[in-house]
Every structure is written in C-alpha cells, then in structure tokens.
Amino acid sequence: MGIQAARKAASSNPQTLDEARAFVKRVESLFMPWNVAGIVAGFTEDCVVRFGDLPELRGRAELEKFFRARAARQKGYRLRKQLKSLMGDTIANTWEGEWEDSGTGAKMSGHGVEIWVMREGRIAVWEAAFNVKEAGKASSMGILQ
C-alpha cells in the first residue's frame, strides 16, 4: 500500500478528540436497545476480540454470536462509555453498565476499560477488561470485604 492509500485509509478513523468522543457515543447508543447488526457492522471483517476471560474471538460471525448471547442475557442493559484517550489509530474508553440477568433475575453491574485499534473507521482489535458483580453485593475478588 502506498503512502497516499495509507493516509486515505487512516483518515476515516477518528482524528480528533471530538471525533473520537462522537465515535464512542455512537457505539454506546447501539447497545440501548441492543442493535447487534449495527454493533457488528462497526468492526472489520477480520476483527480480533479479547473480552475479559473469554477465549479470543475472530471475525464478525463469532462476534455476532457473542453479542446475541449477551443481548439475551443482559435484560434492560444500560451503558455509559467515556472516552479516555486517542492516540493514532487507538481509542481508549471506560464503561459502566447495569442490567438484569435474564437467567437468574439478579440486578447486575459492571465496569471496565476498552482499547480499540481502528482500521478504516472500524474497530479491528477490541481488548476489554470486564468486571461484573451482582449489584449491591461485595466484590467476588475477596479483597477488602
């Protein structure tokens, strides 16, 4: 790929903090209510996803299965994302969420950090730390109870 082509491809990624903030908010909006097709369309065909302690996912088909399973499990999902950093093709954000576990009926809460490596305006690599617990209960880490 020549320099001009590389510049053109990279230019569809967010280039400013305002553009990155808008991208993060757009992604956030796709979770409430769940728009799995819209979420998955925001990833490259060959995306790589490392989410919490789950096995690595590769490609949109695996990603769609993951999001459909989450949507079925996380009833009434409410999400807030906040941009933390933009550096080159990489966006970092934090998130907080609440939902009802459709399997147990328990009120749940979670938070974490996400790193997105962008390519041509889509997420190519998604690495996420995912911390979850039943709302109002102590941490499952067993530290500082």
Is residue 29 included in any domain, yes or no? yes
Is residue 142 included in any domain, yes or no? no
Q: How many domains does the chain have?
A: 1
Provide the domain limits for residue 103: 3-134
Is residue 145 included in any domain, yes or no? no
pLDDT tens, residue by residue, 19-63:
999 999 999 999 999 999 999 999 999 999 999 999 999 999 999
Q: What is the 3-state secondary structure (H, E, C) of the chain?
A: CCHHHHHHHHHCCCCCHHHHHHHHHHHHHCECCECHHHHHHCEEEEEEEEECCCCCEEHHHHHHHHHHHHHHHEEEEEEEEEEEEEECCEEEEEEEEEEEECCCCCEEEEEEEEEEEEECCEEEEEEEEEEEEECCCCCCCCCCC
Is residue 144 included in any domain, yes or no? no
pLDDT tens, residue by residue, 95-106:
999 999 999 999
